[in-house]
Amino acid sequence: MRLNYAALAGLVNATLMMALFTVVSPCVAAQGKTVLMIGDSLTAGLGLPRAQSIPERLEVALQAAGLAARIINAGVSGDTTAGGRARIGWALSEKPDAVILELGANDGLRGLDPKATYENLDVIIAKIIRSGARVLLTGMKAPPNLGTEYGGEFNQIFPRLAAKHRIALMPFFLDGVAGIAELNQDDAIHPNEHGVSIVVGNLLPYVTRLLQEGPHE
């Protein structure tokens, strides 16, 4: 069974782009690339119209920046890093050029062992790298009610993994959105359309750089 594809909205014609630029720019070089975004409800777009999900909005933002990239929404609401580890091989059958790895929030919300979260993400990243795809790891933060000891260990998972595998890291996926009522839905966890705009704006430069790089060596 194949993953559901995000709707393609106004792909930029490569021939037109070549006519607009007299030299080959990084944007032109990145035309036609596929990005897999594997994550939980934040990726899936829980509580939002499909067109307002982060992958859909990111695809539109990339197109506006001159990058005709296709974003595959591989978000599963409620997913943990263990769930992502179980399905990463299937997800990579799409043969993406790059992967945005957005998992870990549910591990933190459930107070799961940070060592297990680290191990699961470690395996996922290694599999992505072996596929030749570039990786952007998006960091998460533990809920403050779980205490400073748990929070300190959990929050270090993402920079440790980025350093180990030498991959790009977006330090906090919900930066500028988490804890701000007017940017979140009534559950105070999932961004609303305004919050999604901020997340996409934060993501855009990371993904742009990712698409301008060659395959992972």
Give the C-alpha separation, 1 to 93, whole Å. 11
Domain limits at 94? 26-211
- Please check whether residue 86 lies inside any domain of the structure: yes
- Please check whether residue 148 lies inside any domain of the structure: yes
Confirm if 91 and 3 have CB atoms less than 8 A apart.
yes
- Please check whether residue 69 lies inside any domain of the structure: yes
Name the domain count of the chain: 1
Q: What is the pLDDT of residues 79-120, one digit of tens each?
A: 999 999 999 999 999 999 999 999 999 999 999 999 999 999
What pLDDT does 213 receive?
82
Q: Which residues are catalytic?
A: 41, 187, 190
- Please check whether residue 183 lies inside any domain of the structure: yes
What pLDDT does 32 receive?
85
- Please check whether residue 82 lies inside any domain of the structure: yes
Q: What is the CA radius of gyration of the chain?
A: 17
CA 166 to chain centre: 17
Greater model confidence, 143 or 213: 143
Which CATH number fits the domain that encloses residue 160? 3.40.50.1110
- Please check whether residue 145 lies inside any domain of the structure: yes
Q: What is the pLDDT of residues 27-86, one digit of tens each?
A: 334 568 999 999 999 999 999 999 999 999 999 999 999 998 999 999 999 999 999 999
Task: Quote the tokens at residue 113.
Answer: 């062992």
Give the C-alpha separation, 155 to 201, whole Å. 23
pTM of the model: 0.85
What pLDDT does 175 receive?
98
- Please check whether residue 4 lies inside any domain of the structure: no
- Please check whether residue 5 lies inside any domain of the structure: no
